[in-house]
Amino acid sequence: MKMDGKTVLITGSTDGVGRYVATQLATAGATVLIHGRDRARAKTLSEEIKRAGGGEPVFYQADLSSLAETQQLADAVLADHRRLDVFISNAGIGSQNDGPARQTSADGHELRFAVNYLSGFLLAHRLLPLLKASAPSRIVNVASLGQHPIDFDDVMITKGYNGSRAYAQSKLSQIMFTIDLAEALKGSGVTVNSLHPATYMNTTMVRAGGITPMSTVEQGGEAILHLVTGDDVVNKSGLFFNGMNEAKANRQAYDAEARKRLRALSLELTGLPGA
């Protein structure tokens, strides 16, 4: 996919791998809609992109731990743009951001499930009409190799909480959603894939977890860019990639009944029609 004249929304682009991907896409000619919580970080990124020869990105501020703010983000993007060629759902928190204790979102949901998965589920659904109108278009869900099956009796992990499980559950949820959405989007010209970008990139969330980085944001960024621009993935949808290569996700991802339960719960929690 040539980026000239294309519009791309990437959540969580004020830091880490999202920041790298936003810069690459903007300098390749795309109109990049950047997103994060921090206006100052967005301003610094905007200046950097302009210095590197890209067009001025459009910044959207929204805390994705609030479904109301997530809805406002979708409203703003739909109001401001006539096309959306790519939606990269990248924003996320790691297993240890702000400590090891269980946290909840503005809506009372387990925080990692809310930020890493539910907000992306809501945004994708809200943005689908624009993505369909701009087809061929792509959705890329930035997930992880860290995956933990969902216990449908305790999705919000009220018992036996630990950050790694919460993070990994949210990441498998993104992959399950990807498979499910790809089915629904068959024939629409919109593809959706998920990936593990790279293992322990040198980013805020990895450092917050006290983990020694093992790869660079460039490595993970190139894997995301492959799904955004690659000609070899043009007709691929519903897949999970480990870096550049197609891979198998946790077994639960291929359990249609589990995906159906997750979808029903997600529609109910987000208030989207179809619950």
Ligand X SMILES: NC(=O)c1ccc[n+]([C@@H]2O[C@H](COP(=O)([O-])OP(=O)(O)OC[C@H]3O[C@@H](n4cnc5c(N)ncnc54)[C@H](OP(=O)(O)O)[C@@H]3O)[C@@H](O)[C@H]2O)c1
Residues serving a catalytic function are: 167
For ligand X, the closer CB: 47 or 136: 47
| Max CA separation in the chain (angstroms) | 51
Assess 50 for contact with ligand X (CB under 6 A): no
d(CA 81, CA 163) in angstroms, rounded, equals 37
Angle at which helices 16-27 and 39-51 cross, to 10°: 40
For ligand X, the closer CB: 45 or 131: 45
Cβ pair 109, 118 in contact under 8 A: yes
For ligand X, the closer CB: 170 or 237: 170
Amino acid at 239: L
Q: Of these, 7, 31, 46, 90, which contacts ligand X (CB under 6 A)? A: 90
Assess 73 for contact with ligand X (CB under 6 A): no
Assess 206 for contact with ligand X (CB under 6 A): yes
- Whole-number minimum distance, CB 206 to ligand X, in Å? 5
Q: Which of these segments, 61-69, 158-166, 230-238, 241-249, binds ligand X (CB under 6 A)?
A: 61-69
For ligand X, the closer CB: 95 or 229: 95
Assess 103 for contact with ligand X (CB under 6 A): no
Q: Which of these segments, 11-19, 43-51, 154-162, 242-250, binds ligand X (CB under 6 A)?
A: 11-19
Q: Which of these segments, 37-45, 121-129, 241-249, 258-266, binds ligand X (CB under 6 A)?
A: 37-45
Residue with token string 């498998």: 172
Chain residues in the site for ligand X (CB under 6 A) = 12-18, 36-38, 41, 63-65, 90-93, 115, 142, 144, 196-197, 200-201, 203-206
